[in-house]
Amino acid sequence: MGLAMSYLRLPPSLEGEQDPGRIAHLVFGRADWRRRHPADRMLDVGGAWQALHYLITGDPWDGRQPGADVVCGGRLLTEDGADGLGMDVIHLVPERVRPAADLLTGTSFDTLAGRFDPAAMAAAEVQDAAGMDETTRDRVLRPAYERLTRLFAAAAADGQAVYKVMVPQDS
């Protein structure tokens, strides 16, 4: 079983609350949280999150900012569902969203595609890399990167934070 990631862009204050941890509980503490937000504020990348991180940074977990902020960067608000949400939530403040958005909008997927090497990615233990091929690159990773670029650009334009949610997915 791997992990799946979803993104949600939100204003820095919600329902009068400014604490990101409390905002996470307000939003993600509801089973229907996905239906409660407009589709243009959300993005599900499923199990492709780590491959995207690898393409952006060249590393499965780390990397330099602002690239590393796109997927793995930010403040972990929850861990292993221990707080009752049943998911991990990572918060990226608006001040870090803008540089990440600038990097994404200034970097075409074709530039990143040079890093697409399923064997190297599998050796680095990138989730699901062993089963990837050019079709995965073109039909999964490219559109996910393009939607991620739009989400971050919109969040930056609106001065919003980005919340990243990780949940177990069936393999």
At 25-56, the pLDDT tens digits run 999 999 899 999 999 999 999 999 999 999 99
Q: Quote the mean pLDDT of the chain.
A: 94
Give the C-alpha distances (Å, rounded to integers) separating 138 from 33, 85, 122, 130, 151: 30, 34, 18, 16, 19
Q: Where are the domains of the chain?
A: 2-169
Query: Do the Cβ atoms of 163 and 5 come closer than 8 Å?
Result: no
CA 28 remoteness from chain centre: 15
Neighbours of 14 (CB within 10 A): 16
Per the CATH hierarchy, to which homologous superfamily does domain 2-169 belong?
Answer: YfbM-like super family (3.40.1760.10)
> Could you read off the pLDDT of 62-94 as tens digits, one per residue?
999 999 999 999 999 986 555 678 889 999 999
* pLDDT at residue number 169: 87
- CA gap 75, 95 in Å, rounded: 13
Work out the end-to-end distance of the chain between its first and last CA atoms, rounded to an integer number of angstroms: 5
